[in-house]
Homo-oligomer: A and B are copies of this chain.
Amino acid sequence: MRIYGDSISGNCLKVKWTADHLRIPYAWIETEVLKAQSRTPEFLALNPAGQVPAVILDDGRPLAQSNAIILHLAEGSDLIPADGYERAKMLEWLFWEQYSHEPYVAVARFQVRFAGKPVGELEPRLVERGKAALARMDQALAGATFLVGDRLSLADVALVAYTREAGDGGFRLADYPNVQAWIGRVERALSIGG
């Protein structure tokens, strides 16, 4: 498998972490969004949406969308709950992540860290919705070890990617103690740096 990804992108790191965790071999092809490498004709032929990550599977077929890729890679593994309801809750988190978390938490981090915008100049809606996303996670993680059931699932892999970087977007993770403790647990489970 070839993974076309940008190392600064949490969406891309999800795919790397899932493959590493499941010991799936791959070649990583660094594809820098800031250099428009995801907008070249060659890349658009691979993913017409012009977004990283995208992968070429071992049989030569392409696949895009971080959460679709990790669901495909993890099929039949213990990163996907065997119980039907838990599997559905995991999917609920994956869709919520892309709709209600990433567009705020990841975008704020990108604007501050990579586009040089001061935290105080972020659009108020971005900050407000990012805080709401973190608060919702903090509520869900009260008394819980992981987001779904009592073991690591793709919900944790997907949500930790940008949540652990939220401080770079001006969010204070110390305000969300359940989230902060969960980040440590997920990083240990995935053997990724703190």
Known contacts A49-B96, A64-B92, A91-B72; is A85 also within 8 Å of B57 by CB?
yes
| Least distance between A143 CB and chain B CB atoms (Å) | 15
* B94 and A68 form a contact (CB under 8 A): yes
Chain A residues close to B by CB (< 8 Å): 48-49, 51, 57, 59, 61, 63-69, 71-72, 75, 84-85, 87-89, 91-92, 94-96, 98-100, 102-103, 136, 139-140
Given contacts A69-B88, A99-B102, 15 further A-B contacts (CB under 8 A): A49-B96, A49-B136, A57-B85, A63-B92, A65-B92, A65-B99, A66-B95, A67-B95, A68-B95, A71-B91, A72-B84, A75-B84, A94-B95, A95-B95, A98-B99
* A-B pairs with beta carbons under 8 Å apart, 5 shown: A57-B85, A65-B91, A65-B99, A75-B84, A98-B98
| Least distance between A178 CB and chain B CB atoms (Å) | 14
On chain B, the residues within 8 Å of A91 by CB distance are 65, 67-68, 71-72
Pick the contact of A103: B57, B66, B103 (CB < 8 A).
Answer: B103
